[in-house]
Amino acid sequence: MIYTTIESPLGELLLAGDGEALQRLDMRGGRRPVQIAPTWRHEDDAFADVIEQLRGYFDGRRREFDVELALAGNRFELRVWEALREIPYGQTVSYGQIARRIGEPGVARAVGLANGRNPIAVIVPCHRVIGADGTLTGYGGGLERKRLLLDLEAGVLPLGAGAGGSPDRESQ
């Protein structure tokens, strides 16, 4: 696995994959940060296109991502994650709405669990899923980061301002 890290308005982000397809995008300060295995290889220039797209997103210039992903999960999780990718920028849906979209209206809790296992934050926009009553509910990166992302997409934050400006590549 190849990885790099960048600074972002969400704090440090870890990007990992095979160098072509992204397999992980994790917030290092989240509740369960991914541990970098001793076999992983750090490359400063890895995922340059992904980093550029993330910069555009955090600067308010990009609303969609064109990134090769290699999502690994069970069939149910993959269906949920695909449904997440269909939520338009700046919009939110409930767990129940996702359950109905995938043709299983009674599995909102299971959707929540799959949402929590999403390995690619921001790009697979699990932050756009909220409670049925409109409240912010669980987010691996913490509710303050979820609010920041939703505010960014709603245009509440000034362009390029999200809690620290646009991400810069971290030197290691």
Catalytic residue, chosen from 22, 98, 126, 152, is 126
Give the amino acid at 113. L
51-56 long-range CB contacts below 8 Å, 24 or more apart? 51/4, 51/6, 51/15, 51/167, 51/169, 54/6, 54/8, 54/13, 54/122, 54/123, 54/167, 55/166, 55/167
Which of these, 57, 48, 62, 61, lies nearest to 15 by C-alpha position?
A: 48
The SS3 assignment for 158 reads: coil
Which of these, 159, 95, 157, lies nearest to 126 by C-alpha position?
A: 95
- Catalytic, 126? Answer yes
Q: Which of the residues are catalytic?
A: 126
